[in-house]
């Protein structure tokens, strides 16, 4: 897929808990282009019980990376869909330098947005994270402690994501530092990186990002 004039092809990078998912949603509304999360693509395949879903289930549950060719196949298909014609925001890819290199000929990002946050704060935010198991409504452990675990939107059960449990959180942060951070250096060499301080409030981070787009 060759990028066309004015098309925004953004990549969001940041450790879990940096607010990357939230900023992706806000940017999606602001720019009227979809946010494509490779983690979400993986979880959807698993939930639908597809052959692909069955083949990646064990990796996702353990917080391990899914084999490159599978993620690349899913993403390549998704970015050619109609709603991504004017651009897209990718959350979760590339996770490794090998993926960035493989994507060189077809991904062609116009900017790479890096949201930074230290490990202690990332762990604290992630251990607070809760979501509805049915409609994915996002909330916090504090909310559940106060109001119970019934989803205020669909009455489903609010749970903690399996890969947000403490051991999996640390494992995912280690993976981020070892494998994903070199991707930032890779795109830095291409002059595409914009860095933001994820410890700030959500609106502040959003305003700063919107300013550079």
Residues forming contacts to ligand AMP in the complex (CB under 6 A) are: 16, 38-39, 42, 59-60, 63-66, 71, 92-93, 95, 99
The nearer residue to ligand AMP, 18 or 38, going by C-beta atoms, is 38
Residues 6 or more apart whose CB falls under 8 angstroms from that of 134 comprise 151, 154, 156, 157
Query: Looking at beta carbons only, is 66 or 132 nearer to ligand AMP?
Result: 66
Backbone angles phi, psi at 198, to 5 degrees: -75, -5
- Known catalytic membership, residue 20: yes
Among 85, 73, 90, smallest CA distance to 4 is for 85
Residue 125 is a catalytic residue: no
Active-site residue (options: 9, 125, 130, 172): 172
Min dist CB 70 to ligand AMP, Å, is 8
- 136 as an active site residue: the answer is no
Q: Residue 59 or 143: which CB sits closer to ligand AMP?
A: 59
Cβ 40 to ligand AMP shortest distance, Å: 7
54 is catalytic: no
In angstroms, give the least distance from the CB of 63 to ligand AMP.
5
Which residue among 8, 78, 111, 161 is the active-site one?
161
Shortest Cβ 37–ligand AMP spacing (Å): 6
Alpha-carbon span 134 to 142, nearest angstrom = 20
* Per annotation, catalytic residue among 9, 20, 125, 130: 20
As a whole number of angstroms, the distance between CA 131 and CA 151 comes to 8
Nearby residues of 195 by Cβ (< 8 Å), 6 or more positions away: 114, 116
Q: CB-wise, 25 or 64, nearer to ligand AMP?
A: 64
195 is annotated as an active-site residue: no
Please pick, among 8, 78, 129, 195, the residue that the annotation labels catalytic.
Answer: 129
Alpha carbons 92 and 36: distance in angstroms, whole number: 8
Whether 189 contacts 106, CB under 8 Å: no
Cα-based distances in Å from 104 to 8, 69, 146, 148: 16, 14, 48, 47
Catalytic residues: 20, 95, 129, 161, 172
């Amino acid at each position: 897929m060759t990028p066309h004039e004015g098309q925004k092809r953004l990549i969001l990078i940041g450790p879990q808990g940096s607010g990357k998912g939230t900023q992706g949603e806000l940017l999606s509304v602001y720019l009227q282009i979809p946010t494509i999360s490779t983690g979400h693509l993986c979880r959807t395949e698993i939930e639908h019980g597809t052959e692909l879903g069955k083949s990646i289930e064990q990796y996702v549950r353990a917080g391990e990376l899914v084999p490159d060719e599978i993620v690349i196949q899913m993403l390549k298909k998704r970015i050619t869909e109609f709603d991504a014609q004017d651009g897209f925001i990718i959350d979760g890819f590339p996770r490794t330098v090998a993926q960035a290199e493989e994507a060189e000929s077809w991904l062609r990002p116009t900017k790479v947005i890096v949201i930074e946050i230290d490990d202690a704060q990332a762990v604290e935010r992630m251990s607070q994270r809760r979501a509805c198991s049915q409609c994915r409504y996002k909330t916090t452990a504090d909310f559940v402690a106060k109001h119970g675990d019934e989803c205020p939107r669909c009455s489903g059960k609010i749970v903690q994501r399996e890969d947000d449990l403490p051991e999996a959180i640390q494992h995912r942060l280690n993976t981020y530092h070892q494998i994903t951070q070199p991707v930032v250096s890779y795109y830095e060499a291409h002059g595409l990186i914009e860095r933001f301080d994820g410890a700030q409030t959500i609106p502040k981070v959003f305003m700063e990002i919107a300013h550079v787009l």
